Amino acid sequence: MRYIYTHIGAIIESYNGSIPLTHFLKNYFRVHPKLGSRDRKILSDMAYCWYRCSKGFNEDIPFEERLHACLYLCETNTPQSDNLLPETYKTTKDRSIAEKINILSNSGISFNIYAITAFNTELSEGISTPDWLYSMLQQPRLFIRIRKNRKKILAILKDNQLPFELLSDNCIALPNTSPIDKLLPEDCYVVQDASSQTTGNYFHTNKDASWWDCCSGAGGKSLLLKDKFPNAKLSVSDKRASILHNLEKRFQLYGHTRPASYVADVASEAELNYTLGNKTFSHIICDVPCTGSGTWARTPEQLYFFDDRQIATISALQAGIATNVSKRLEPGGTLYYITCSVFEAENEAVIKQIREKTGLQLHEWVLINGIEKKADSMFIAVLKKPY
């Protein structure tokens, strides 16, 4: 198994965080085709565990010892990964994180959870720094939203002995590696994190209301809206034509009428005016670009390589987008400001700027803390335009 350690050393030495880790690993495995399926799974476990917590250990600890400590402390997806551990670690792998940290300490290996990040940024109300950091040690679960044929979906999961938890009538949590794409009818469900699904609880409408998803991406929030309110008059926009094409294909798959679609950079007021003319809307979903810090347990490499100097630039972009699109609100209209960040600078601080610049009134805001569900965390604020 020495070759495994050679490969993981090469991976860690050459990866710089410029592309998602999953893409880097696929490219690496393509260049090294002799690595079998088991090898690839072990190396993936090693890489993800390394980026989850290696900074929490002293750098003077030998590489393999630190790697073993990372594998021990974090959840792994492959039993063969655990077989690489020292015997003491193997027999106590199912202990709590606190117990494992104590076992490591008794072995002369100390762990500092606060050291896994090189920055100190205030979090939104509703989530604590220790809880957020410890959540990085575990892979979140896979969540699906049932669109139709609920009984059939549940029957398939049971027949195939897939463990699952029903969190609500339509939200199901499953182990992250569940092969649902091979089992479930694709038009009956949507892969969507539990916290993302929860944002839909804040959407309210009436018969004649018009909606605009101004940073739609592939349409997760738009599909959530249309499944909840099939008759909603929806427009979508994104600055990437390719991703709007993906959105349209998804709408076709799920049987929804294709929404009015605009390629526009909503950060540019001039471009927005050119593209939309004098169009206004009753409700605007403003799911802005963000650091994604509420999702970093899925992509721990983003935490590992994050430079907190980016936050000021990102929050300025968020405030600019929200200010631009809010001018398209009809009197009495609603702006739904959404991020998948836990940083106060991207959430409450931006809402303060939006209110000062636009006069919108804050109806409510909440940090949707997904840690206990092993889900992402998100922030949503509901703002109203006065009549």
Q: What are the domain boundaries of the chain? A: 2-116, 142-191, 198-384
- pLDDT digit string, tens, across residues 182-229: 999 999 999 999 999 999 999 999 888 999 999 999 999 999 999 999
Is pLDDT of 122 > 90?
Answer: yes
Going by C-alpha positions, the residue among 233, 237, 239 that lies closest to residue 248 is 237
Q: What is the pLDDT of residue 267?
A: 96
- pLDDT digit string, tens, across residues 373-384: 999 999 999 999
Beta bridge partners of 166: 172
CB 193 within 8 Å of CB 144:
no
Q: What is the pLDDT of residue 297?
A: 97
SS3 for the chain, per residue?
Answer: CHHHHHHHHHHHHHCCCCCCHHHHHHHHHHHCCCCCHHHHHHHHHHHHHHHHHHHHECCCCCHHHHHHHHHHHCCCCCHHHHCCCCHHHHHCCCCCHHHHHHHHHHCCCCECHHHHCCCCCCECCCCCHHHHHHHCCCCCCEEEEECCCHHHHHHHHHHCCCCCEECCCCEEEECCCCCHHHCCCCCCEEECCHHHHHHHHHCCCCCCCEEEECCCCCCHHHHHHHHHCCCCEEEEEECCHHHHHHHHHHHHHCCCCCCEEEECCCCCHHHHHHHHCCCCEEEEEEECCCCCHHHCCCCHHHHHHCCCCHHHHHHHHHHHHHHHHHCCEEEEEEEEEEECCCEHHHCHHHHHHHHHHHCCEEEEEEEECCHHHCCCCEEEEEEECCC
Beta bridge partners of 362: 383
- Per the rule left: phi > 0, alpha: psi between -120 and 50, beta: everything else, 378 is beta
* Cα(213)–Cα(220) distance, integer angstroms: 10
* Cα(40)–Cα(43) distance, integer angstroms: 5
Q: How far is CA 138 from CA 64, 154, 197, in A?
A: 21, 26, 21
Beta bridge partners of 364: 382
Q: What is the pLDDT of residue 76?
A: 87
- Residue 191 φ then ψ, to 5°: -75, 115
- Average pLDDT of the segment spanning 53-68: 96
Q: What is the DSSP pairing of strand 165-166 with strand 378-384? A: unpaired
Average pLDDT along the chain:
96
Is pLDDT of 327 > 90?
Answer: yes
Is pLDDT of 181 > 80?
Answer: yes
CA dihedral 327, 328, 329, 335 (to 10 degrees): -80
Q: What is the DSSP pairing of strand 329-339 with strand 361-368? A: unpaired
Going by C-alpha positions, the residue among 297, 285, 263 that lies closest to residue 339 is 285
Q: What is the pLDDT of residue 11?
A: 98
CB 379 within 8 Å of CB 367:
yes
* Cα(15)–Cα(28) distance, integer angstroms: 10
Confidence of residue 121 (pLDDT cuts 50, 70, 90): very high
198-384: what fold?
Rossmann fold (3.40.50)
- pLDDT digit string, tens, across residues 332-344: 999 999 999 999 9
Confidence of residue 127 (pLDDT cuts 50, 70, 90): very high
Going by C-alpha positions, the residue among 314, 337, 313 that lies closest to residue 213 is 337
Q: What is the pLDDT of residue 229?
A: 95
Q: What is the pLDDT of residue 119?
A: 87
The sheet carrying 210-213 orders its strands as: 260-263, 233-238, 210-213, 281-287, 329-339, 378-384, 361-368
How many CB atoms are located within 10 Å of the residue 184 CB? 20
Going by C-alpha positions, the residue among 72, 45, 137, 115 that lies closest to residue 374 is 137
- pLDDT digit string, tens, across residues 356-378: 999 999 999 999 999 999 999 99
